[in-house]
Structure 1
Amino acid sequence: MPKSRKTVDVADSYAVRLMQHLVVPTFVIDPKRRVVIWNRACERLTGVAASEVIGTTKHWQAFYETRRPCLADLVARDCPEQLPEYYSEYAARGHNGLGFSAENWCVMPKLGSQLYLAIDAGPIHDEAGHLIAVVETLRDLTDQKRAEMALKELATKDGLTGLSNRRSFDQMLVTEWARAQRTQKPLALLFVDVDHFKLFNDRHGHQIGDECLRAIADVVSRHAVRPLDLAGRYGGEEFALILPDMDCDSACAVAEEIRGAIMALQIAHGATGAGDHVTLSVGVASHLPSGADGGPDRLLGAADEALYVAKRLGRNRVICAERVLAEFAALGRETAAVPAPGRRKSA
């Protein structure tokens, strides 16, 4: 009896029978990217029976709603340059036969719920070095990923309002400042302060004060509409909004929308020395950073000073930093010194 046959029936091979019983979800495609093995663990993970995909190139349907390559397809095509296009986390292990690794959220249409999968795909070559198959294995890391996301949420979000906390906001401001320097596009910053909030708390109590802050945070966050916009709680009753690629006039328009939206809520204030309803003062600054600017301190100082002027001029208004010097002259205030961020006290 011959030791081996030149052509082996894959479905009947000993190796395949072993693979079918692996607890690790695994599938195999041939050089034409047709599925030749779809093991039982893969059936359980995806909800897709082997009979639905064997002999086809439809394995992507187990993971995604629209056609796109799986990691095994990229290995078969030797396309490591496409990894960033399709995967949030990835590694190409070079042209040494080890293949690719990646992680990704997958839609899992048959299951009706998303899974975060760690994926490894490696080629199998014959003695002549020709590709004969690609093996892809899958690990479900959904619970671990959600735990990581929850921890990140705790580390980056303000517990009361759900906006970015001060630390996260400061980090993003530095990142966006650096991006503005590279792209030479303006970066706008809004400081939003609740007028007479201490009086509000004294009159209505801290629980109602917290409800007021949450309502204002909701309005501010609704104006962070673009992917890189970021709303944060800067401290106490002060909020901040990063608006990349926006000049001062456009940022002032956003600030006026926020101020008007809070007035429309008609949150009762009524404390002595304040108006009937809660209002906001907003300082706005926008700057096109140069290489000599260093960090975003200049932008922070300008927005902070604009907010100071808004308070001095009677509150419930938006002031753009470019008008600050003129306003200061009218007030007879020294213009030489600009307070550092955090030096101004809210009121």
Structure 2
Amino acid sequence: MEHLVTATFVLDDTGKVIIWNKACERLTGIKASEVIGTDNHWQAFYSEKRPCLADLLVQNRIDELDKLYVYHAEPSAYGKGYQADNWCYLPRINRRLYIAFDSGPIYDFQGNLIAVVETMRDMTEYKTVQSALEKLVEIDDLTGLSNRRYLAEHLETEWSAALANKNHFSIIIADIDFFKQFNDTYGHQTGDECLKSVANVMQQSLLRATDVAIRFGGEEFCVLLPNTRPKDAIDISERMRQNIYDIALEHKTSSVADYVTISCGVASMVPTGEKQAADLIKQADEALYQAKAACRNRTVEYQHDL
């Protein structure tokens, strides 16, 4: 194992290091002489003491996998090894790496555990590319905002968090007023520029990292506002609406203003088991309909009993 190209270490049945190969030294920056005969191997991967995958097997604590690793796979019907992935800060080399761990027990002829082998692969580059690709598919090509796929993936997560914490969850649905007429007057290329400008102002109007602007489709947008009470949601909507008016994009075929404007519907609730996230979307959409029916260029809050 000493000259394997894969970073490998071996623990005895007491959790002490008996092998720490050259590849492991290169990956972690820690020499074998520093850890052989000790249980200090955790220092290679973490700044605070915690068990490695091999330790869980030695200590018969494999049920703690969920708490310690962002991903793990249990052995097949024919295997006894475990797989797990995790972001690790390696103190000696001062780098944060995404490492794939594989660990398996070694038994004697009587079935007694005598050692555990652990191998490691640096998956940082792969994970970084994967994360970038996942983010790309959730971004609207034209505006750079999150897209409808993002909404589908994250709405329920935010709803569940609000339900668990008993927090308000608010949503704004906004629509560019008379956008069809804008396109007919100025052309689709200018219409695309209008969409990009509106999206940019929407994003800049949101002051918290947790607030997310989404292009819902066409000229319609959605804003997710976790942990936001109704009054605050209305204030955000009005700030967004006013900021868009203030950039003064000419719209000479609008019947409500000389410039591009938006109408907004706001809905807010503290989630309960009786309601779903889709109900909140529907309420915000109904409020938007009321805003458009009331001459547009305004914010309307959903008023029915929640």
Instruction: Tell me, yes or no, whether TM beats 0.5.
Output: yes
The answer to whether the Cα contact below 8 Å between 1:224 and 1:241 also exists between their aligned partners in 2 is no
Describe how 1:254-293 pairs up with structure 2 within 5 A: 254-259=236-241, 262=243, 266-272=246-252, 273=254, 275=257, 279-287=261-269
Residue 140 of structure 1 corresponds to: 122
CA distance 1:312–1:97, shift in 2 (3 Å):
closer
Deviations 1:255-293 (A, max 9, x none): 345446x36x94232433465765543211235667776
Q: Give 1:105 deviation, angstroms.
A: 2.1
- Secondary structure of 2:303 counterpart: helix
Residue 201 of structure 2 corresponds to: 216
CA distance in 2, matches of 1:148, 1:107: 20
Residue 319 of structure 1 corresponds to: 300
CA distance in 2, matches of 1:60, 1:150: 30
- Secondary structure of 1:20 counterpart: coil
Residue 6 of structure 1 corresponds to: none
User: Which ranges of structure 1 fall in alignment gaps of 5 or more residues?
Assistant: 1-18, 325-347
Residue 285 of structure 2 corresponds to: 304
| Pair 1:43 & 2:25 matched | yes
The answer to whether the Cα contact below 8 Å between 1:124 and 1:135 also exists between their aligned partners in 2 is yes
Residue 7 of structure 1 corresponds to: none
Q: Which has the higher strand share?
A: 2
Residue 71 of structure 1 corresponds to: 53
Task: Tell me which of the two structures has the higher relative contact order, counting C-alpha pairs closer than 8 angstroms and 6 or more residues apart.
Answer: 2
Q: Which amino acid aligns with 2:18?
A: V
Deviating more after overlay: 64-73 vs 169-178: 169-178
The answer to whether the Cα contact below 8 Å between 2:45 and 2:91 also exists between their aligned partners in 1 is yes
The answer to whether the Cα contact below 8 Å between 2:206 and 2:236 also exists between their aligned partners in 1 is no
Q: Give 1:206 deviation, angstroms.
A: 4.8
Describe how 1:1-347 pairs up with structure 2 within 5 A: 19-93=1-75, 98-173=80-155, 187-195=169-177, 199=182, 202=186, 205-206=190-191, 208-209=193-194, 211-219=196-204, 222-223=207-208, 225=210, 230-244=212-226, 248-259=230-241, 262=243, 266-272=246-252, 273=254, 275=257, 279-287=261-269, 296-322=277-303
CA distance in 1, matches of 2:286, 2:172: 11
CA distance in 1, matches of 2:147, 2:63: 36
Q: Which amino acid aligns with 2:249?
A: H
- Secondary structure of 2:248 counterpart: coil
CA distance in 1, matches of 2:41, 2:238: 51
CA distance in 2, matches of 1:49, 1:289: 54
Deviations 1:29-64 (A, max 9, x none): 234433221111112222332233333333223223
Q: Which amino acid aligns with 1:306?
A: A
Deviations 1:213-258 (A, max 9, x none): 3422423664452xxx654211233221234565544533443454
The answer to whether the Cα contact below 8 Å between 1:71 and 1:121 also exists between their aligned partners in 2 is yes
Q: Give 1:175 deviation, angstroms.
A: 5.7
The answer to whether the Cα contact below 8 Å between 1:224 and 1:231 also exists between their aligned partners in 2 is no
Q: Could you tell me the percent identity over the aligned residues? A: 43
The answer to whether the Cα contact below 8 Å between 2:241 and 2:261 also exists between their aligned partners in 1 is yes
RMSD, aligned CA? 3.7
CA distance in 1, matches of 2:106, 2:15: 13
The answer to whether the Cα contact below 8 Å between 1:163 and 1:217 also exists between their aligned partners in 2 is no
Deviations 1:90-146 (A, max 9, x none): 123399982421112223344444332221112223445443322111123333333
**TM-score, normalised to structure 1's length?**
0.70
Q: Which amino acid aligns with 2:203?
A: D
- Count the aligned residue pairs: 300
Which of these two proteins has the greater Rg computed from alpha carbons?
1
The answer to whether the Cα contact below 8 Å between 2:171 and 2:267 also exists between their aligned partners in 1 is yes
User: Which ranges of structure 2 fall in alignment gaps of 5 or more residues?
Assistant: none
**TM-score, normalised to structure 2's length?**
0.78
CA distance in 2, matches of 1:105, 1:303: 39
The answer to whether the Cα contact below 8 Å between 2:213 and 2:222 also exists between their aligned partners in 1 is yes
Q: Give 1:303 deviation, angstroms.
A: 1.0
Q: Give 1:309 deviation, angstroms.
A: 2.2
CA distance 1:210–1:320, shift in 2 (3 Å):
closer
CA distance in 2, matches of 1:215, 1:115: 34
